[in-house]
């Protein structure tokens, strides 16, 4: 017969067992989540190599590549780089500056943040967003093939300091160009100018105005001072937060060759010599 004490004891045991299972369940769930969350927090990724196998990427090492110095102090302080409203599309322009990242073999990088110095025209602003473009270096050291176009990126900051957080794709080591373009209607927000830098790093900055609204003839990329002679400062003020990652190729094991059986020829029988007839004696 079950007494009240027995029932209470059973409830206590059941409660204790349930708590034990819950604790174990939470612990296993934590382990499972850590398998996925920790690599993501470290920024680890996986890419496919030319061999088709997976390569493991190690935790990134992040640093700042900076041209945030030697800002121009005399006019022109900056140069336009803006996407206007459709009615003003002929005036859409871009300025781009190059940067170089030299890495050891088996290293790649990606970019998480762009910081630029810039100003609005008198009474202008704010920009609604920014377009950020990355180009390969072309012959003549001008922007070439477009590899990433990150459009309508949100930003923080006010003149003269703007920060754009983003996530780019992976870059191999080399020379690239970045173009930062304000998305901003002229009516009623005026213009935005990327601040000039008086010291040149690598190649001089480039500018283009595909619709030739300014009448410079620079409908494709050219040195900005070739388009507008008063642009005597050769570069732009910006910095990049980039993360370098190393990957270790995983070599697929070579298949073990299966030995091929060799057919053994049947033994050849040795013919038994037939007895030769005895020739008859000569007469």
Third-level CATH fold of 61-245 = Jelly Rolls (2.60.120)
Residue 22 has pLDDT above 50, yes or no: no
Residue 248: pLDDT band (50, 70, 90) is confident
Chain mean pLDDT for the chain = 80
Q: E-assigned strands of the chain?
A: 46-48, 54-57, 61-66, 78-80, 82-83, 94-101, 107-120, 129-138, 142-153, 156-158, 161-165, 174-183, 192-197, 206-208, 222-223, 235-236, 238-249
The percentage of the chain sitting over the pLDDT mark of 90, rounded to a whole number, equals 66
Residue 185 has pLDDT above 90, yes or no: yes
110-135 average pLDDT score:
98
91 vs 5 pLDDT, higher one: 91
Q: What is the pLDDT of residues 257-269, one digit of tens each?
A: 666 555 555 555 5
Give residue 268's pLDDT. Answer: 57
Which range has the top average pLDDT, 53-62, 85-94, 255-264? 85-94
Rounded to an integer, what is the distance from CA 109 to the centroid of its chain?
6
- Terminal alpha carbon distance of the chain: 134
Sequence length of the chain is 283
Domain ranges of the chain: 61-245
pTM value? 0.70
51 vs 54, 117, 252, 253, CA distance in Å?
Answer: 9, 43, 9, 13
Give residue 255's pLDDT. Answer: 66
Cα–Cα distance for residue pair 94/82, rounded to 1 Å: 6
């Amino acid at each position: 017969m079950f007494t009240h004490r027995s029932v209470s004891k059973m409830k206590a045991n059941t409660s204790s067992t349930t708590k034990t299972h819950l604790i174990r369940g939470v612990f296993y769930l934590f382990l499972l989540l850590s398998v996925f969350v920790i690599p993501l927090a470290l920024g680890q990724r996986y890419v496919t190599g030319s061999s088709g196998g997976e390569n493991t990427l190690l935790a990134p090492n992040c640093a700042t590549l900076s041209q945030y110095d030697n800002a121009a102090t005399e006019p022109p302080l900056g140069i336009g780089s803006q996407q206007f409203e459709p009615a003003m599309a002929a005036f859409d322009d871009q300025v781009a500056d190059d940067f170089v990242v030299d890495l050891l073999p088996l290293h790649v990088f990606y970019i998480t943040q762009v910081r630029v110095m810039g100003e609005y025209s008198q009474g202008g602003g704010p920009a609604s967003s920014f377009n950020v473009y990355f180009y390969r270096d072309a012959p003549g050291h001008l922007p070439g093939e477009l590899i990433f176009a990150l459009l309508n990126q949100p930003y923080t900051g006010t003149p003269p300091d703007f920060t754009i957080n983003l996530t780019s794709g992976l870059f191999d080591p080399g020379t690239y160009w970045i173009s930062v373009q304000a998305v901003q209607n002229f009516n009623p927000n005026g213009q935005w100018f990327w601040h000039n830098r008086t010291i040149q790093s690598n190649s001089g900055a480039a500018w283009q105005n595909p619709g030739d609204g300014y009448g410079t003839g620079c409908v494709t990329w050219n040195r900005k001072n070739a388009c507008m002679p008063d642009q005597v400062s050769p570069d732009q003020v910006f910095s990049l937060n980039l993360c370098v990652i190393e990957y270790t190729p995983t070599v697929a094991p070579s298949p073990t060759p299966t030995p091929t059986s060799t057919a053994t020829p049947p033994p050849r029988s040795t013919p038994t010599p037939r007895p030769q007839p005895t020739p008859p004696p000569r007469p």
